[in-house]
Structures are given as C-alpha cells and as structure tokens.
Amino acid sequence: MAPGLAGLSTLLGAEGAPHFPARAKRVIYLFQSGAPSQMDLFDHKPVLEKLRASELPDSIRRGQRLTGMTATQTSFPVAPSIFRFAQHGQCGAWVSELMPRTAKIADELCFVRSMHTEAINHDPAITFFQTGAQIAGRPSIGAWLAYGLGSENHDLPAFVVMVSQGTGNPADQPLYDRLWGSGFLPTRYQGVKFRSGADPVLYLSNPAGMTAEGRRRYLDDLAELNRMKLEEFGDPEIATRISQYEMAYRMQTSVPELTDLSKEPERVFELYGPEARRPGTFAANCLLARRLAERGVRFIQLFHRGWDQHNKLPKQIAGQCRDTDQASAALILDLKQRGLLEDTLVIWGGEFGRTVYCQGKLTADDYGRDHHPRCFTIWMAGGGIRPGMTHGETDDYCYNIVRDPVHVHDLHATILYCLGVDHTRLTFKYQGRHFRLTDVHGNVVKAVLA
C-alpha cells in the first residue's frame, strides 16, 4: 500500500478511496496570517460613514469579550473604511479598491462574510484554523488529508507549506512549524516546508564528498537496519523514518525541477506580477503552488504574514494588498486556463476579523482595528464551490452575524466534503479516543456547493 493511504483504507476497506465522489482532488490554502480587515476589503458598510466617530452601541457590542489591547479604552469610536467600494462581475460582489485584480475575478469566487471563530488572540486562532483546536498538539488539516488521501505524486510530499513576509506589518506575530505538524498522526503526514534559499528543503542536497551512488547505497543499508528495528519494536515512527529517507532521495530530483521557473513563459510572470521572479515572495509562492498542484500534491498551504493592523491600518493594509491581490487572482486565472480550477479548491482568508471601532486615535486618514472573532470574510473558488456568490451577512456595524453563520468546524467539514471525505468518518484512535479534525462538531455548508 502506498504511503499515506492507510487512513481511509482502514475505514473504507479500499485503498485511498474517498467516501463519495470528490469534486476536488487538491487544496491550495492562501492563509493571510494576522487577520485582514473584512470591512476594508469585502464587507461593504456604507451606513458607517454617517456614524463616523460615534460610540459603538452597547446593543451591538453585547458585552462581547475584548482583547487586553482595547479593553481599557474609555471610548470605542466607529471607524468607517476610507477605501471606496464598488460592485463587480455579474454577481455584483462588493470589493474594495484595494483589491482591483480580485474584483475582476469576482464571478469565480464565493465570498463567505459570516465566518466566526472562538479564539480572540492570534496563536490560538491560527492553531484553531489549522487543527480544529485552540491548544497545540492536534494534527493539521493538511496532515489529516495526507493521512486520509495521500498524494498523487510519490516523488513529492502530499502536504507542502510556504511562508512569506508581507510589507504591511513586518513585526507581525511569528508562525511555528507545529501549525503544519502531524500531531498524534505518524510524522510522515506532517507538512514539508519549502524555503526561498538555494536548498528549498533542508538537508536535501548531498553533503560534501557524498555522490548520488554513495547516498543510494547508504540509504539502502540504513533502511535495512531500520527494518530490523521495526520488526523488533513495531514502532510506526521507524516506518516513517524509512519512508521519509526515501522521499528525500526522490525529492533530490523532483524539487529542483519543480522550483526551476526558467521554462515558465513571459506571459505567466506578467500574470503573477514582477514579484513572482523573486523567490520567497507571496507571488512566487503562488506560482509554485500552481506547479505543485499540476504535480498532484494534495494540500498546498501558503502563509503570508503582516495583516495585524492595530494602528496605521490604511498604510499597512495597502501594502498587504499589493503583496497578495494580483498573485491571488493570477492563481485562479492560471488554474482555470489549465483546466485545474475545476478540481482544485482554493481558499483565501485569515484567522479572525477586525473591529469596527478604532484602536488608538481616530483621525481623518488613519485608524487601527483590534481582533474580532465574531464575524469576518474569506473567499473560496473551484473544486466543487459555487462561483459568483456571497454567503452570509453581518449587521450594519460589521460586528455580528445576522444570516447564515459559518464556524471554523463547518469550513473544515466543507473542505473535506469537496474532497469526497465525510468529516465524521476520517478519524484516528489516540489515547483510547477516536479523534477527527472537526472534533464532535461541524456541518457541511451545502449552500456554497456547486
């Protein structure tokens, strides 16, 4: 049995078969770390202009929890977005002037304005989106899919991660490798982080003095020793070690070919923008994500830092949008042109939203926003998602959901559904309990499905 397929095969009795016909074969998750401001990008609230600098009513706030950064403020003045909005596409989606390229592909997207989460601080909120739990230690969503469905390409990992630094807030909170870890699943299912340096994957190159033939003989001998230990102790991590050494050997050929962009035509770089030529940028990572999707990698996750705008939001968010707008839209167009969007699910969004009230001093052209878990916007495209629609609605203050709420567990259940997986049946027994990504929660959001 191929590595990574044991998960569903033990549940279904068929090697890697999904529970039902899948609409998507793979996922590209464009995670915007730091939490983009929904009311400055996708959730248009024209009523707020008349309420500028007025106090957020208690009837809207409803005693909801605040972070330590604004809980001691004596005033909570409403801060309307200073950016213009317009409707775009046949679907009439409202998109800010900050996202002109995204606006042009509005008819390909499904905007979900009613996302909500339970965490109010970055680390537990990002951990929750990745693992379905706020406390570290659970498998990440990519690890669950690698465990359940494996990869279509045995020369590349099933789960690949790339991280880029935005120009908005260079001092944004860090990201930890555990966010793409395997938790209590065997470590073969954890994400492999690609870097922007000469060696995209650590320790992939042969050490000085080691030939390819010598490494092959070394790995064969090492595998035999590990197999002896596996027979003696039965530790699944020894089996993981054997398979990962073999994967690393195969990646010595597959990864350099993957990351060599020299054969990409000029029109592709024009589509993604000039930053696509610079390794480590969000644009370059989006182009690599398309190449990974072409090669059958199951779960590709891009983390882009810098969205935490507690102050100087207008300046900082403009930088973040320059980083991401063109490349995100280009990825959708590129996938569609190649016939890949139909079976590739693309997701764009952060860990929570931002407050309508200003953090710090509100001026005519400057404001900041604190964390807000009660409502925020993401978008999805391709892979079984209904295009050209907006799901969910928030109140006039963009503070509470008034229609069709979508919880993080619901999003996870829907992602798995698009891949042909019943989220209640993809489980792993650990410490006497059958765990799953959605814990004991989650409902598929049928309204957003094509």
pLDDT at residue 384 greater than cutoff 70: yes
pLDDT at residue 172 greater than cutoff 60: yes
Q: Residue 295: count other Cβ atoms within 10 Å of its Cβ.
A: 17
Residues 319, 306 contacting (CB under 8 angstroms): yes
pTM of the predicted structure, to 2 decimals = 0.93
CATH architecture of 6-200+279-362+369-395+419-434: 3-Layer(aba) Sandwich (3.40)
230 compared with 379, residue with greater pLDDT: 379
In this prediction, residue 75 carries a pLDDT of 96
pLDDT at residue 1 greater than cutoff 50: no
Tokens found for residue 114: 């009613």
Of the candidate ranges 70-79, 237-246, 377-386, the one whose mean pLDDT is the lowest: 237-246
Average pLDDT score, the chain: 92
- Please report which confidence band the pLDDT of residue 16 belongs to, taking 50, 70 and 90 as the band edges: low
In this prediction, residue 9 carries a pLDDT of 40
How many residues in the chain? Answer: 450
Over range 126-136, report the average pLDDT: 98
In this prediction, residue 398 carries a pLDDT of 98
Cα of 214 vs its chain's centroid, Å: 39
Residues 39, 354 contacting (CB under 8 angstroms): yes
Residues 345, 448: Cα–Cα separation, whole Å: 12
Residue range 34-51, pLDDT digits in tens: 999 999 999 999 999 999
In this prediction, residue 10 carries a pLDDT of 40
Residues 6+ apart with CB under 8 A from 233: none
In this prediction, residue 17 carries a pLDDT of 67
Residue range 294-346, pLDDT digits in tens: 999 999 999 999 999 999 999 999 999 999 999 999 999 999 999 999 999 99
Distance set, CA 218 to CA 84, 212, 224, 236, 308 (Å): 62, 10, 10, 22, 47
Residues 288, 311: Cα–Cα separation, whole Å: 33
Tokens found for residue 178: 């555990």
Helix-strand-coil split of the chain, %, nearest 5: 35, 20, 45
